């Protein structure tokens, strides 16, 4: 009997991990520079959080959620996105009273029952940021600048920022009516989903991908032309900030985003380095979400992007294996006594921060040497009965081929393997031989 992967789910194998870590490290680095704190929310929430938060008429809620009953007959859902969970956490921990202003980021798996294709999966991974408790347009600009800088440090080219405003709840209500009037005469020529959307939420028609609907969508009015004075002023101020920060953008009047919680600013960041799935990041304001979940009126804004897409671009740019960290020492052991001494020495050296590997399959010396080469070990030490007894052995530098006799005392061997780090520090640091910035 064989077990296949579930459709839309996949393994991320050890050889691919360096690219994932590169992307994740960039997110963490940007979070450090912009001062966002990490939050980790559960993978499973009450279904109601998403039906209310993300919206009953959205594709996510109508078609894409992994919903199940637990043994206590509660309806639970694997999170399809992170914003609703972060908003829930804000209320769960009483931040609306204790610390209403929050700048948070997250990384992790999300689940949507979508048609799998390149860069689109059923279990996928998002990185995202959320700012809660501030309405000022400078926050919108900071969130967009974060997204932009992240792509810059990863070296992504051809960045394009699409910006729009869908206004406040009253603006949206009015705009829905305008859209209803626009689409009603042609609705019979549009897809079944759009027919349903016309009654439920005609804004959703604007993100329909069906070919039949495009001519009507292309002629639809734009939300930014139907804003109340406050929302229009907010958009003008956001644009002013983006200009000051020299972040180029296009106003896209038909950008509405596929989730119902958005208000005012919505944006997407695309890259010409991605093929058809060119949206790297999508985000916007959600000033009504916390209130919708039972909290006080609290503004919010954020974005999320798919890690798979970032990894795809990084892999295209640098094909082949990525440089991985080298092993400090491979201990080749001979005979039972050598293996016992080797295991003991390896464990002691690891306590000093040295990376060590050892053979566990009692193989001959040739095979162990091949393993050391494959692991790109910096050093090799052969440990047999004689060395174990004498407490001394020969350490081989695998790059230069030079050998020298060394003591097998773990502390002095650890010192030899790392007399300080490579970057010119004097060894008076706790970098354990990695790299550090000399003080
Ligand atoms: P979203 O547009 O649904 O927004 O997703 C954001 C990004 O996640 C997309 O632009 C894409 O890069 C990635 N993504 C979405 N679905 C998939 C998939 N099936 N496979 C791979 N990548 C995918 C949100 O999720 C909002 N929570 C964003 C947000 C945060 N708005 C405010 N704060």
Instruction: Report yes or no on 56 lying in a domain.
Output: yes
Instruction: Report yes or no on 71 lying in a domain.
Output: yes
Domain-ending residue, one of 283, 317, 351: 317
Is 128 close to ligand 1, i.e. is its CB under 6 Å away? yes
Residue minimizing CA distance to atom 30 of ligand 1: 303
Q: Tell me the CB-side half-sphere exposure of residue 285, using CA atoms within 13 A.
A: 28
Between 424 and 189, the more confident residue is 189
Per-residue pLDDT reduced to its tens digit, 376-427: 999 999 999 999 999 999 999 999 999 999 999 999 999 999 855 555 555 5
Is residue 342 domain-shared with residue 377, that is, in the same domain? yes
What was the pLDDT predicted at 273?
Answer: 82
Instruction: Report yes or no on 97 lying in a domain.
Output: yes
CA 285 / ligand 1 centre spacing (Å): 14
What was the pLDDT predicted at 430?
Answer: 55
Is residue 140 domain-shared with residue 69, that is, in the same domain? yes
**How far apart are alpha carbons 271 and 278 in whole angstroms?**
6
**How far apart are alpha carbons 78 and 68 in whole angstroms?**
9
- Give me the residue label for tokens 């969970």: 85
**279 closest CA partner among 271, 288, 287:** 271
Going by C-beta distance under 8 Å and a sequence separation of 6 or more, which residues neighbour residue 317?
155, 273
Estimate the crossing angle of helix 137-153 against helix 17-34, to 10 degrees.
150
Instruction: Report yes or no on 139 lying in a domain.
Output: yes
CA 308 / ligand 1 centre spacing (Å): 11
Is 81 close to ligand 1, i.e. is its CB under 6 Å away? yes
Per-residue pLDDT reduced to its tens digit, 146-182: 999 999 999 888 899 999 999 999 999 999 999 999 9
| CATH number, domain containing residue 279 | 3.30.930.10
Which residues constitute the domain of residue 348?
329-438
Instruction: Report yes or no on 180 lying in a domain.
Output: no
Q: Which of 5-9, 49-53, 196-200 has the lowest mean pLDDT?
A: 196-200
| CATH number, domain containing residue 340 | 3.40.50.800
**Mutate which of 126, 287, 302, 313 for ligand 1 pocket (most atoms within 8 A of beta carbon):** 126
Q: What integer is the mean pLDDT of 62-79?
A: 97
Per-residue pLDDT reduced to its tens digit, 309-350: 999 888 887 766 677 789 999 999 999 999 999 999 999 999
Is residue 345 domain-shared with residue 394, that is, in the same domain? yes
pTM score, whole prediction? 0.91
Element (H, E) at 236: helix 229-244
Q: What integer is the mean pLDDT of 135-148?
A: 98
Cα distance between the two ends of the chain: 59
Is residue 405 domain-shared with residue 277, that is, in the same domain? no
What was the pLDDT predicted at 22?
Answer: 93
CA 125 / ligand 1 centre spacing (Å): 9
Instruction: Report yes or no on 251 lying in a domain.
Output: yes
**If pLDDT is split at 50, 70 and 90, which confidence band does 437 have?**
very low
Q: What integer is the mean pLDDT of 220-225?
A: 93
**How far apart are alpha carbons 121 and 115 in whole angstroms?**
7
Is residue 342 domain-shared with residue 312, that is, in the same domain? no
What was the pLDDT predicted at 324?
Answer: 76
Biggest CA–CA distance in the chain, Å, is 93
Give the Cβ contact number of residue 78 at 10 Å: 20
Between 426 and 20, the more confident residue is 20
Is 53 close to ligand 1, i.e. is its CB under 6 Å away? no
Q: List C-alpha distances in Å: 58 to 47, 52, 286, 390.
A: 14, 11, 15, 72
What was the pLDDT predicted at 433?
Answer: 47
19 pLDDT more than 90 = yes
What was the pLDDT predicted at 316?
Answer: 84
Residue minimizing CA distance to atom 2 of ligand 1: 282
Q: pLDDT above 90 covers what percent of the chain?
A: 83
Q: What integer is the mean pLDDT of 74-88?
A: 98
Is residue 145 domain-shared with residue 111, that is, in the same domain? yes
**135 closest CA partner among 302, 304, 303, 298:** 298
Listed in sequence order, the DSSP H helices in 74-117 are: 83-92, 95-98
Q: Report the Cα 259 to chain-centroid distance in Å.
A: 19
**Mutate which of 7, 39, 49, 81 for ligand 1 pocket (most atoms within 8 A of beta carbon):** 81
Is 121 close to ligand 1, i.e. is its CB under 6 Å away? yes
Helix and strand tally (H, E) in the chain? 16, 16
Q: Which of 23-37, 298-312, 413-427 has the lowest mean pLDDT?
A: 413-427
DSSP β-ladder status, 379-383 and 403-407:
unpaired
What was the pLDDT predicted at 274?
Answer: 80
42 pLDDT more than 70 = yes
Instruction: Report yes or no on 199 lying in a domain.
Output: no
Is residue 255 domain-shared with residue 132, that is, in the same domain? yes
Is residue 289 domain-shared with residue 393, that is, in the same domain? no
Is 123 close to ligand 1, i.e. is its CB under 6 Å away? no
What was the pLDDT predicted at 419?
Answer: 59
**If pLDDT is split at 50, 70 and 90, which confidence band does 439 have?**
very low
Residue minimizing CA distance to atom 21 of ligand 1: 120
Is 306 close to ligand 1, i.e. is its CB under 6 Å away? yes
Domain-ending residue, one of 317, 352, 380: 317
**How far apart are alpha carbons 210 and 332 in whole angstroms?**
62
Q: What angle do CA 312, 316, 317 make, to 5 degrees?
A: 120
Is residue 108 domain-shared with residue 83, that is, in the same domain? yes
Is 82 close to ligand 1, i.e. is its CB under 6 Å away? yes
> If 0-12 CB within 10 Å is exposed, 13-18 middle and 19+ buried, where does residue 291 land?
middle
Residue minimizing CA distance to atom 7 of ligand 1: 305
**Mutate which of 304, 307, 313 for ligand 1 pocket (most atoms within 8 A of beta carbon):** 304
CA 6 / ligand 1 centre spacing (Å): 21
Is 130 close to ligand 1, i.e. is its CB under 6 Å away? yes
Q: What integer is the mean pLDDT of 262-282?
A: 89
Residue minimizing CA distance to atom 17 of ligand 1: 120
155-185: buried (b, 16+ CB within 10 Å) or exposed (e) per residue? ebeebebbbbbbbbeebbebbbeebeebbee
DSSP β-ladder status, 75-78 and 66-69:
antiparallel
236-257: buried (b, 16+ CB within 10 Å) or exposed (e) per residue? eebbebbeeeebebeebeebbb
What was the pLDDT predicted at 158?
Answer: 87
Instruction: Report yes or no on 177 lying in a domain.
Output: no
Q: Which two tokens stand for residue 288?
A: 């009504």
Between 304 and 423, the more confident residue is 304
Q: Which two tokens stand for residue 151?
A: 């792509």
CA 207 / ligand 1 centre spacing (Å): 14
**How far apart are alpha carbons 140 and 163 in whole angstroms?**
11
Domain-ending residue, one of 317, 341, 360: 317
438 pLDDT more than 50 = no
Is residue 251 domain-shared with residue 380, that is, in the same domain? no
Q: How many domains does one find in the chain? A: 2
Residue minimizing CA distance to atom 11 of ligand 1: 306
Residue minimizing CA distance to atom 9 of ligand 1: 305
CA 173 / ligand 1 centre spacing (Å): 25
**How far apart are alpha carbons 226 and 167 in whole angstroms?**
8
**How far apart are alpha carbons 190 and 257 in whole angstroms?**
20
Please state the atom number of ligand 1 nearest to the C-alpha of residue 302. Answer: 33
Is 80 close to ligand 1, i.e. is its CB under 6 Å away? no
96 pLDDT more than 90 = yes
Is residue 272 domain-shared with residue 237, that is, in the same domain? yes
276 pLDDT more than 80 = no
Is 162 close to ligand 1, i.e. is its CB under 6 Å away? no
Is residue 313 domain-shared with residue 378, that is, in the same domain? no
């Amino acid at each position: 009997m064989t077990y296949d992967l579930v459709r839309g789910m996949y393994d991320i194998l050890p050889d691919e991990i360096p690219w994932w870590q590169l992307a994740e490290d960039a997110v963490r680095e940007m979070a450090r520079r912009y001062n966002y704190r990490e939050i980790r929310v559960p993978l499973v929430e009450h279904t109601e959080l998403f039906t209310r938060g993300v919206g009953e008429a959205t594709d996510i809620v109508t078609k894409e959620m992994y919903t199940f009953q637990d043994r206590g007959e509660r309806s639970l859902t694997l999170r399809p996105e992170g914003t609703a969970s972060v908003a829930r956490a804000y209320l769960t921990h009483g931040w609306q009273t204790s610390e209403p202003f929050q700048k948070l980021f997250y990384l992790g798996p999300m689940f949507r029952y979508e048609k799998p294709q390149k860069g689109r999966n059923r279990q996928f991974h998002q990185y995202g940021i959320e700012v809660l408790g501030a309405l000022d347009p400078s926050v919108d600009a900071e969130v967009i600048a974060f997204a932009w800088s992240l792509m810059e440090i990863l070296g992504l080219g051809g960045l394009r920022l699409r910006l729009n405003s869908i206004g406040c709840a009253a603006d949206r209500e009015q705009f829905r009516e305008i859209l209803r009037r626009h689409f009603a005469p042609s609705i019979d020529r549009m897809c079944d989903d759009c027919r349903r959307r016309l009654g439920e939420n005609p804004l959703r028609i604007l993100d329909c991908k069906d070919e039949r609907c495009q001519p009507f969508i292309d002629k639809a009015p734009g939300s930014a032309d139907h804003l109340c004075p406050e929302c229009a002023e907010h958009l003008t101020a956001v644009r002013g900030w983006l200009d000051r920060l020299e972040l180029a953008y296009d106003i896209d009047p038909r950008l509405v985003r596929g989730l119902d919680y958005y208000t005012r600013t919505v944006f997407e960041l695309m890259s010409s380095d991605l093929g058809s799935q060119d949206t790297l990041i999508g985000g916007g304001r959600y000033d009504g979400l916390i209130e919708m979940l039972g909290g006080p009126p609290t503004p919010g804004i954020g974005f999320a992007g798919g890690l798979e897409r970032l990894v795809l671009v990084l892999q295209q740019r640098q094909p082949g294996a990525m440089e991985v960290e080298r092993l400090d020492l491979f201990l080749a052991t001979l005979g039972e006594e050598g293996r016992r001494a080797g295991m003991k020495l390896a464990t002691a050296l690891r306590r000093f921060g040295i990376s060590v590997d050892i053979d566990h399959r009692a193989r001959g010396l040739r095979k162990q040497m091949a393993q050391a080469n494959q692991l790109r070990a910096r050093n090799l030490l052969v440990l047999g009965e004689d060395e174990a007894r004498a407490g001394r052995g020969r350490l081989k530098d695998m790059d230069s081929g030079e050998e020298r006799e060394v003591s097998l005392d773990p502390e002095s061997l650890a010192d030899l393997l790392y007399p300080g780090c490579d970057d010119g520090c004097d060894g008076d640091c706790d970098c354990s031989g990695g790299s550090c910035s000399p003080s």
